[in-house]
Chains A and B, each alone.
Chain A
Amino acid sequence: MESGFYGSSLDGNLKCKFEESGLANTHEIMEKAVRWFRSRSIFVVAYGTGCGAIEMPPTFTSRYDAERMGVVGVATPRQADLIILSGYLAYKTLRRVIRTYEQMQKPRYIMTLGSCPINGGMYWDSYNTIKKLDDYLPIDVSVTGCMPRPEAVIDGFVLLQERIRNGEKAGWEKYDENFEFYKENQKRVLGGHIDPSYETDWYNLKSGGKA
């Protein structure tokens, strides 16, 4: 079983059952339906790391009303599908963001606002901020601008929904595949002071399993 029901393909057992009963195409249809529903219910934990956070209240409240697209804010990372990182990340913040991201359940997505997470933005020469966030975490959508207007943020949501609907490879899958690469980069800037990883398969610890 490559990935579970939550993943990009249906649960293997279910797929076999469909095929046994002569419904070979059903799993594809089901998959499409699941992806469509998923794209229309995105729960967001908004992590205001930088100045861009100021654009999130208008995005989620009545003026721009992201809820009409199924995008709703939640309180904790464990309930969220999407984490929005809105701006530059200090090393100190990065440490917490990694922890937050790893607490989220799969499927999970990352959206960044502004140019700072892309190339450092106007904080490129700061002694305490990172320049390229995608070295440390997999980004699904980057919204550019300094800072992006709510329209642009909503455009980012639309793009993300499209990608989910089309079943494109998401960031969390890349994170799983290139786990060592990401961890190595995180260690490089955060030193040895990095929180224990949540990416552990607690049920198969003996087989040394990573989730």
Chain B
Amino acid sequence: MDLASKLEKLSLELVQKQDYLYSVTIDFERLESLLLSFLNEFGYITLDSINCRDDLEDGFFTITYCLQTEERDHVVMIQTKIQRENASLPTMHTIWPQAEIMEREMHEMFGVDFPGHPTLIDFALEYWDNMPPLRRDFDTLEYVNSMNPFREQRNDALDAKEEMKKKREAKKAAKLKAQQEAEAKAALEAQNNPSDEVKNEE
């Protein structure tokens, strides 16, 4: 692939992940210029998505930009790491307009700042004043329990196993009863019309 040789000149390595998926890892300082050269020189005109992963233990966010060419036959992921504390990224909305909403979501869910971004307002949440909810140090369970207590349990619940057993037994008994009744009826009829066989013979 000639992209690999082009990247080699920039002393970067293109790693193939799957047959249509490649990745490049780059440090944060060179990120913006690399994204620009992907767009202007290599022809990657589409920004698919911007993703964020929280590596809490190591203290950074892993950011992934997914790019495609006009042919749409493969995806290149450009990965970089940024500090978790006071995380901030250059905004890409002037180059790829769709980045505006992706960045707004990332700002809301992870608290990443985008200086110069025009609409860093609420995206899916409303009036959220807690820690951004997808950061891993946000204790979801504690928050949920403090906001929404559980409904009190009903204690008239029946044991499903036993109920099914009872039901099956009742069904069996009903079937047996019906059978016995049918037999008794047949016997009675045979008693009442003993001449049946004789008639048939005639």
Contact = CB atoms under 8 A, between A and B. Distances in A.
Interface in B84-142: 124-127, 129, 133, 138, 140-141
B188 interface: no
The main secondary structure of chain B at its interface with chain A is: loop
Interface string B139-160: 0110110011111000000000
B150 A95 contact: no
Given A128-B124, A193-B127, 11 more contacts: A91-B125, A91-B126, A92-B126, A118-B151, A119-B150, A120-B148, A128-B133, A131-B144, A131-B149, A191-B127, A191-B129
Given A125-B140, A125-B141, A130 B148 contact: yes
A182 interface: no
B147 A126 contact: no
Contacts of A131: 144, 148-151
A-side interface size class: 10 to 19
Contacts of B124: 92, 128
Interface in A65-104: 91-92, 95
A92 B129 CA distance: 14
Interface of A: 91-92, 95, 118-120, 124-128, 130-132, 188-189, 191, 193
A34 B150 CA distance: 39
A22 B63 CA distance: 83
The main secondary structure of chain A at its interface with chain B is: loop
A127 B151 contact: no
Given A119-B150, A119-B151, A132-B148, A127 B133 contact: yes
B142 to A, nearest CB: 10
Contacts of B138: 127
Contacts of B149: 131-132
A67 to B, nearest CB: 34
A127 B144 contact: yes
Q: Kindly name the residue among B140, B148, B151 whose own CB sees the greatest number of chain A CB atoms within 10 A.
A: B148
A12 B191 CA distance: 73
B144 A124 contact: yes
B126 A127 contact: no
Contacts of B148: 120, 130-132, 189
A117 to B, nearest CB: 11
A118 B143 CA distance: 19
29 contacts: A91-B126, A92-B125, A92-B126, A95-B126, A118-B151, A119-B151, A120-B148, A124-B144, A125-B140, A125-B144, A126-B140, A127-B133, A127-B138, A127-B140, A127-B143, A127-B144, A128-B124, A128-B125, A130-B148, A131-B144, A131-B148, A131-B150, A131-B151, A132-B149, A132-B151, A188-B147, A191-B127, A191-B129, A193-B126
